[in-house]
Structure 1
Amino acid sequence: MHYFSLEDINNLEHLYKINLVNSCSGFKSANLIGTVSKDGEENVAIFSSVTHVGSNPPILGFFCRPTTVTRDTYINIKETRVYTINHIQESNFKEAHHTSAKYDANISEFNKTNLEADYKKNCLAPFVKDAPVQLKMKYVGEYHIKENDTILVLGEIQALQINQDIITKDGFINLSQANVATINGLDGYAFPKLKKRLDYQRPK
């Protein structure tokens, strides 16, 4: 095995270090977050940091990079308090990846990709049409991570829309059946297949 000390990591070439550290934690979620500004400007952007925080209340979190530069998703969420989370599939992962490009706030990524905005009743922010899992979210808070100046944004699930054929009788969502993507590092996409669900474990 190749050994990297902290000193080794700190002295690595910039891009190599970014790729190494971004991929060492394992596969990450692949989601498109849809928002709209107070002036009606659409935004959709890819995130690989959406994570489950709790089920009661149903809260998900995601991390925003330092706001020393403009972060349209974060700004829109703070302005409107509403956003959507949409799962990425094998059929649209290349288009989804392009939303990481830095467009001006007045340019909608929907207009620069083949992704299509889908507005639903009682939701200001756009969903991504045909996403197999779509979540309507309400901003509930944030935490500043002082160690690297990032922000953990917390949102409460207001509504879930899921393709019927991927929900099992016990509520489990079989993401592999919908060819949902995961991200390895910054730019590696994989489409995992469910091997087996195991029983709840108790001490022997």
Structure 2
Amino acid sequence: MENITSDQIADMEKHYRISLINSLVGFRSVNLLGTTSNDGITNLCIISSAFHLGANPPLIGLVIRPEREHNDTLKNIRSTGQYTLNNVVPEWYKQAHQTSASYPSGVSEFQACGFKKQYVNGFKAPFVAESTIRIGLELRETVDIELNGTTIVIGEIIQILADANLIANDGTVDHIQAETMTVAGLDAYFLPQPVGRLAYAKPGVEPREIISINE
């Protein structure tokens, strides 16, 4: 077994260290983050940092890298207060990956990467028409992390766009049928495979499968 210390991590070649640390925690959700400026210029970028924060109110957090001159995402979120998260599906994962390229400020990745915009009345930010699960959020709080210059963005879910057959009777979203992809590291994309669903855990009670996830 290899034992890698913090000193060894610090001494690693930059790109090796980035690949190692980004892939270390395994599979993560991957989404396209859609925003628009006050002038109506849309922006789209791929992220793998979204996380569930609470169900009442329904909150999702995500981590945004430090602001750069060509990065309009955080600027748009702060100025309009609305943004979208859209799942990545196999047919479009290469185009989704391309949104991570450093396009100049003011260039819409929707147009540059071939995605169609979808709008809901009364909601400013664009959804991705090619996605099967789309979430509209309103900004509730930002937390600046001094340690590495990133920002945690916390939003409340106010729109969910999905086919009815993708949401089970108990509210569970069927991401297998939705073809939702995951990512490990910065560039390795995967489709998850179903294993099973288990009943609510209680002390002294053996885990019990309640239903096969693909039934």
Settle same-fold status: TM greater than 0.5: yes
> Which secondary structure does the structure 2 equivalent of 1:2 belong to?
coil
Whether contact under 8 Å (2:51, 2:62) holds in the other structure is yes
Match of 2:36 in 1: 36
> Which secondary structure does the structure 2 equivalent of 1:10 belong to?
helix
Distance in 1 separating the partners of 2:162 and 2:2: 42
Whether contact under 8 Å (1:177, 1:193) holds in the other structure is no
Q: How far apart are residue 114 of structure 1 and its match?
A: 2.2
| Counterpart code for 1:156 | E
| Counterpart code for 1:81 | G
Match of 1:58 in 2: 58
Distance in 1 separating the partners of 2:4 and 2:144: 29
> Which secondary structure does the structure 2 equivalent of 1:92 belong to?
helix
> Aligned in 2, Cα 1:21/1:69: closer, same or farther, shift over 3 Å?
farther
- CA offset digits 1:39-89 (Å, max 9, x no partner): 111101101001100111001011011125443110001110011111111
Whether contact under 8 Å (1:89, 1:181) holds in the other structure is yes
Return 5+ residue gaps in structure 2 as ranges.
205-215
Match of 2:213 in 1: none
> Aligned in 2, Cα 1:104/1:68: closer, same or farther, shift over 3 Å?
closer
> Which secondary structure does the structure 2 equivalent of 1:112 belong to?
helix
Q: How far apart are residue 2 of structure 1 and its match?
A: 2.2
Match of 2:95 in 1: 95
Give yes or no for the alignment of 1:73 onto 2:69.
Answer: no
Distance in 1 separating the partners of 2:114 and 2:98: 10
Q: What are the equivalent positions in structure 2 for 1:1-204 lying under 5 Å apart?
A: 1-204=1-204
TM-score, scaled to structure 2: 0.92
Whether contact under 8 Å (1:29, 1:183) holds in the other structure is yes
- CA offset digits 1:17-56 (Å, max 9, x no partner): 0000000011111100111101111101101001100111
Q: How far apart are residue 119 of structure 1 and its match?
A: 1.6
Distance in 1 separating the partners of 2:195 and 2:142: 36
Aligned sequence identity (%): 37
Whether contact under 8 Å (1:174, 1:194) holds in the other structure is no
| Counterpart code for 1:43 | N
Runs of 4+ in 1 over 6 A off after TM superposition: none
Distance in 1 separating the partners of 2:68 and 2:100: 17
Distance in 2 separating the partners of 1:124 and 1:146: 30
Equivalent pairs, count:
204
> Which secondary structure does the structure 1 equivalent of 2:34 belong to?
strand
Return 5+ residue gaps in structure 1 as ranges.
none
Distance in 1 separating the partners of 2:91 and 2:176: 13
Whether contact under 8 Å (1:59, 1:155) holds in the other structure is yes
Q: How far apart are residue 165 of structure 1 and its match?
A: 1.7
Distance in 2 separating the partners of 1:23 and 1:85: 22
Distance in 1 separating the partners of 2:62 and 2:127: 17
